Structure 1
Amino acid sequence: MNTTIIGLDKKQAEELTINLNELLSNFQVYYQNLRGLHWNIKGKNFFELHVKFEEFYTDSQEKIDMIAERILTLEGTPLHTFSDYIELAKVPVGKNVTNDVEGVSLVVNSLAELLRIERFILEASDKASDEGTNSMMSDFIAEQEKTIWMLNAWLS
Structure 2
Amino acid sequence: MNTNLIGLQRDGADALSEQLNALLANYQVLYMNVRGFHWNVQGDNFFELHAKFEEIYDQLLLKVDELAERILTLGGKPLHGFSDYLSRSEIEEVKGVHNGHLAVESVLSSYKLLLEQQRRVLAAAAELGDEGTVALLSDYISQQEKEVWMLAAYQGRSA
One fold, TM greater than 0.5? yes
Counterpart check, 1:34 vs 2:54: no
Taking the aligned partners of 1:105 and 1:31, their CA distance within structure 2 comes to 15
Counterpart check, 1:48 vs 2:48: yes
Taking the aligned partners of 2:5 and 2:35, their CA distance within structure 1 comes to 37
Gaps of 5+ in 1: none
- Per the alignment, in what secondary structure is the counterpart of residue 112 of structure 1? helix
Taking the aligned partners of 1:80 and 1:14, their CA distance within structure 2 comes to 17
Indicate the residue corresponding to 1:63 in structure 2: 63
- Size of the aligned set, in residue pairs, is 156
* Deviation (angstroms), 1:7: 0.3
Taking the aligned partners of 2:84 and 2:54, their CA distance within structure 1 comes to 25
TM-score, normalised by the number of residues in structure 1: 0.99
Taking the aligned partners of 1:81 and 1:94, their CA distance within structure 2 comes to 18
TM-score, normalised by the number of residues in structure 2: 0.97
- Structure 1 runs of 4+ with >6 Å offset: none
Taking the aligned partners of 1:97 and 1:126, their CA distance within structure 2 comes to 38
- Per the alignment, in what secondary structure is the counterpart of residue 14 of structure 1? helix
Indicate the residue corresponding to 2:143 in structure 1: 143
* Deviation (angstroms), 1:92: 2.8
Conserved? CA contact 1:34–1:56, under 8 Å: yes
- Over the matched positions of the two proteins, sequence identity in percent amounts to 49
Gaps of 5+ in 2: none
